[in-house]
Amino acid sequence: MGDPVWIEHVVFPLVLMGMTTLAGVAVYRLAARWIDRKHDRQVLEMQRASDPDVAGLGARVDALEGVVGRIQELEERLDFAERLLTSQRAHDRLLR
């Protein structure tokens, strides 16, 4: 096993292949991390760009909910006024 030719032709190439593989894995991991960070930045930029739209839609939904509540209140008042007028007319008919 101590033969210099064997070490030079077998051991050194195996060590170099292992080191090359480790270096390749390190480069791959760096590239993958860089791509992930770039993707995350793009997603954050898209979210920030859509935030005003979402906030605007939320404000519009809140305003519409307020209008719906106001309409329901007005419907109740109209129903009450109609019942009051109907009962007053019926009362006037009874008095005649």
Residue with tokens 């090359």: 20
Integer Cα distance of 60 and 40 in angstroms = 30
Integer Cα distance of 36 and 56 in angstroms = 30
Report pLDDT digits (tens) over 24-66: 999 999 999 999 999 988 888 887 776 667 777 878 888 898 8
pLDDT (mean) for 7-16: 90
